[in-house]
Structure 1
């Protein structure tokens, strides 16, 4: 009986060692994945920093001014070119009913303006004679 008990305990210890080894291996694998992801995050942050620095350099006002002077034929604004709101033209009047104006222009007189043509009118039945039921 003791021999069977010892054999079961040894088998249980071997199974426990296998489980512990598997858990340790998975933990090591996950730790490597975390380290790899952290490295990728740091690389991306460095790339973002480089792109932000390049963006700041490209949007430097002095650089843009030099490019504008070199490639554009702009002249400074003269005082007579400045106007106030009184010199603006009047806003064109809008037609309050553009569809009605279009219908009038087409000459659709004698047509029911509420009829859309989507529903056919129901025919009215002829009146019944007085004596028949």
Structure 2
């Protein structure tokens, strides 16, 4: 009988130690969660402060005042636009003289491969009904 009693007491001590360990781990985790929540609150407050400061710095009236004070800009008038004849010369062409335009050649090739009667997938082909004449479709 004594062996059974000692075995039961040992199991109870082991169970109590195990429960105590679980309680301490859960307490540590709760403290960590509380610290993380506090840190999240601090970061959110910092973000809100920075957003408020950005809104203050980005205010249109403040920017207009700074531009007037430091840039010395004047309103654009219609006489400030120039004519086309005063544009600079066209940049030099890198294609050889007399050589066909490579982009134009690609477009011609694409147009040659496309059938004039082809219909795209988004537009259904008109159905020819008996008695319909070409060009009489609605």
TM norm structure 2: 0.63
Q: Give the 3-state SS of the residue equivalent to 2:12 in structure 1.
A: helix
The separation in 2 between residues aligned to 1:46 and 1:83, in whole angstroms, is: 52
Displacement of 1:87: 5.3
Residue 28 of structure 2 is matched in structure 1 by 29
Q: Which has the larger radius of gyration?
A: 1
The separation in 2 between residues aligned to 1:28 and 1:18, in whole angstroms, is: 15
The separation in 2 between residues aligned to 1:42 and 1:85, in whole angstroms, is: 60
Displacement of 1:96: 3.0
More contact order relative to length (CA 8 Å, sep ≥ 6) = 2
TM norm structure 1: 0.66
Q: Give the 3-state SS of the residue equivalent to 2:46 in structure 1.
A: helix
Residue 75 of structure 1 is matched in structure 2 by 74
Distance 1:85 1:58, change over 3 A: farther
- Superposition misfits of 4+ residues, deviation over 6 angstroms: none
Displacement of 1:85: 6.0
The separation in 1 between residues aligned to 2:15 and 2:37, in whole angstroms, is: 33
Residue 5 of structure 2 is matched in structure 1 by 6
Residue 92 of structure 1 is matched in structure 2 by 91
The separation in 1 between residues aligned to 2:68 and 2:45, in whole angstroms, is: 34
Gaps spanning 5+ residues in structure 2: where?
97-138
> Where do 1:55-74 residues align within 5 Å?
55-74=54-73
Displacement of 1:70: 0.8
Please give the per-residue CA displacement for 1:77-128, whole angstroms capped at 9, x wherever unaligned: 121002476753343123237xxxxxxxxxxxxxxxxxxxxxxxxxxxxxxx
The separation in 2 between residues aligned to 1:53 and 1:85, in whole angstroms, is: 47
